[in-house]
Structures are given as structure tokens and as C-alpha cells.
Amino acid sequence: MVPPRPMLSLDRLGTVIAILIGVALFAAPFATYRATRIASGQSRLLIEALPFTMSAVVAIVALAVAAGAAIVRDPLGRLGSAVIGLAVLLPSLGLSAGYLTPADNTFARVSPSTGFWLLTAAFSILAIDALARMRLGPYGRLAALAVGISAVALLLFSGIWNELSILKEYHTRADTFWREARQHLVLAFGSMAVACLLGIPIGIAGHRFRTLRIAMLQGLGIVQTIPSIALFGLLMAPLGALAASVPLAAALGIKGIGAAPAFIALVLYALLPIVANTIAGLSQVPASVVDAARGMGLSERQRLLEVEMPLALPVILAGIRIVSVQNLGLATVAALIGGGGLGTFVFQGIGQTAIDLVLLGALPTVGLSFVASIVLDALVDIAKGALA
């Protein structure tokens, strides 16, 4: 006899999300108040961090989202509940900063605390899970990303978050922030571009010659094992000697400290994924396709450019995706040797024990990595679709 099916079946991931929401609402502080930017923080629960009516609205919406996550299986319903939760939660943080900051007080700081981050993580995981269940194509994922970026931009330009400590840190450093952000992008994507220009031809050569392939992959694998700080240090001495002996190199900005050793190190780190994926992509091209191209009278160069490389493109793009995320993170460390970038704020914040200054450098880096990953992942799928 078949046992009766239970009338109520809980979604496993949704149950975990519901537990996270419960912990965030009832056991974790929603915001942290500091009398000054480096003073010890005073934690505030949700009911203390907002006026009673607003805190009740946030709690009711969060509990409704928790129930929906645990029970509702329809992807559109799960996505809708996650969006509603974020739409209520994110503006409430700005309201909390205004509520907790005394009038005409320019020294006080209000920062998001554990409860807010847990709620944000829970709602975001629910939204990502819903999008995954909807099996969106690459253009759908790019559209969803554009909507998310637009929503965050709207919150930033609306001014509702202006009383938050991280925005106060930004407003006092706006010019410096954008200068370091540009430097961060130059380091990350400039090194990726150079690595592509070097790595793809090297990968093609490695595909053609097995002995060269083994030597290159082993050598680049050794580079990957060197910690970033150590590699920066190893490059400082030869670059410093080059700058001292070649005036043109010094005039071009090549010296022992600064952006030059950081840029070269990022190029070296980026070579292995690009070379390895180029070799893997070319190796998976069916031999029958290459033979057919040869039978059509195509030269070796034509076979490579018109047949093999287009078929290998999705795998090569996957390697570039890995490099983009890797370089955006590693570029943060460049600030330790004067290379600039968003890591400047991270290390300044650590030195001043100012957590919001750390976040000013860390959050944009995480956001850039997330966006780059989604965009390049979509490009991989578009390339695969074009070859299908």
C-alpha cells in the first residue's frame, strides 16, 4: 500500500531561507550606531532601529517572504516575494540611519548590521533560486541584471541612503573614489586584455606542440601557486633596477612600486586560465570537422581562424570569465604596493578601524565581480547558441 502523500511539503532551500529570516528578525541586530566613525558600535534590533510602524511592516513582509519561500514552489511567485522583500528592506535601512542619527549631528554613523545582511542574503538567494528555476536564457539573465543595477542606482540617486556611514565616507572622498575606481578597472581589465593577447597565441602554440604545452602549463601553474603579495615583492626588485638603469622606463611609470608590478603580476596570474582554456577549446574541435575543412582546400591559417577558433570560442570565453573575476579581486591587493585601486579604501579602513571605509572599497569590488561573471557567462551561452 502506497503511503498517503503529505498535504504540505516544505521546500528545502526555502526552509533554510525561512530560518535565516527568523534569526535576522529576532536574534540579530539590524543596524549599528556609532557616536563617531571610529567609536565602538551600539547594536540596535529591528524594533529599535526604526519607528514602530516601519519596523512592523518590515517584520510582517519578511515573515510573509519566509512563509512563501518554505511553501511556494512556483518560480514566479518566489521571485515576486523576494523582490517585494528587497523593495521594503533596502529603503528601510536608509530610514533607520535618519531615525537613529540625532538632528544636526554630523559625527554620528549608522551602519547595517548582521540582521540586515542576513535578510539581504536570504531575499537575494530566494531571487537567484527563482531565476534559476525559470531557466532564463542569456538575454533574460542580462535583462534581470539590468533591472537589479537600475534598482540599486535608483536608491543611490534618490538620497534615501545618504545618512548611512558608507555614503558619508563616499561623499568626503568622491573624487578620490572615482579615480581609484578607474585605476582598479585599468588594472583588472587592462591586464586581462594583455593576457588575452599573449595567452591565446600561446595556447594555440601549445595545442600544436605537446612538449611546449606541458612546459607552459607547468610553468604557469607554478606562478599560480605564488601568493599575490609575494609575487608583487618578487617583481619590485627587477622593475626598480630597470627604472634606475633605463630612464625611458622610469618616464613611462615603470618602477619598483606602484601600478607596474601589480599590472605585470595580474597578467601572469591571468595567463594560466586563458592558455589552458584555449588549448582545451581547440582540443575539443572534432577531427572530422578539421578534416572536412582540409578537404575543402582551406589552408592551415584559414582552418584555424574560420573553423577551429569559432568552435573553441565558448571555452575560451569561459577562461576569460574566470580571469575577469580573479583579476577584479586581486587588483584590490595592488594598493599595498602603491598600485591604487579600490583596495586603497580597504587598507585605509583597516588601518583606521573604520569598517565603513573598508566596505567602500570592498562592496564595489564584489559588485563588479558579480556583474562581470553574469555578463561573461551570458556571452558564453550566446556563443554556444550561435554554434548550435
| 3-class secondary-structure state, position 33 | strand
pTM for this entry: 0.87
Contact 170, 342 (CB under 8 A): no
Cα(129)–Cα(68) distance, rounded to whole angstroms?
13
Contact 372, 325 (CB under 8 A): yes
- What does the DSSP 8-state code read for residue 304? I
Lowest mean pLDDT: which of 181-190, 232-241, 344-353? Answer: 232-241
Each residue's pLDDT tens digit, 172-186:
899 999 999 999 999
- Domain definitions of the chain by residue range: 12-165, 174-387
For the domain 174-387, what is the CATH code? 1.10.3720.10
pLDDT for 374: 93
Q: Is the pLDDT of residue 21 over 80?
A: yes
Mean pLDDT of 332-348: 88
Lowest mean pLDDT: which of 229-238, 287-296, 345-354? Answer: 229-238
Q: What backbone phi and psi angles, to 5 degrees, belong to 66?
A: -60, -45
Q: Is the pLDDT of residue 247 over 90?
A: no
CB atoms within 10 A of CB 212: 13
Q: What angle do CA 294, 299, 300 make, to 5 degrees?
A: 90
pLDDT for 333: 87
Matching residue, cell 565602538:
40
Q: Is the pLDDT of residue 1 over 60?
A: no
Lowest mean pLDDT: which of 51-55, 221-225, 248-252? Answer: 248-252
pLDDT for 56: 95
Residue (of 122, 140, 139, 123) closest to 131 by Cα position: 140
Chain Cα centroid distance, residue 238: 32
Compute the radius of gyration of the chain from its Cα atoms: 26
- Report the percent of the chain where pLDDT is more than 90: 56
Please provide the average confidence, as pLDDT, over all residues in the chain: 88
Cell of 80: 515576486
- Strand positions, DSSP E, 57-108: none
Burial of residue 347 (CB within 10 Å: 0-12, 13-18, 19+) is middle
Q: Which amino acid is at 384?
A: K
Which has more pLDDT, 291 or 241?
291
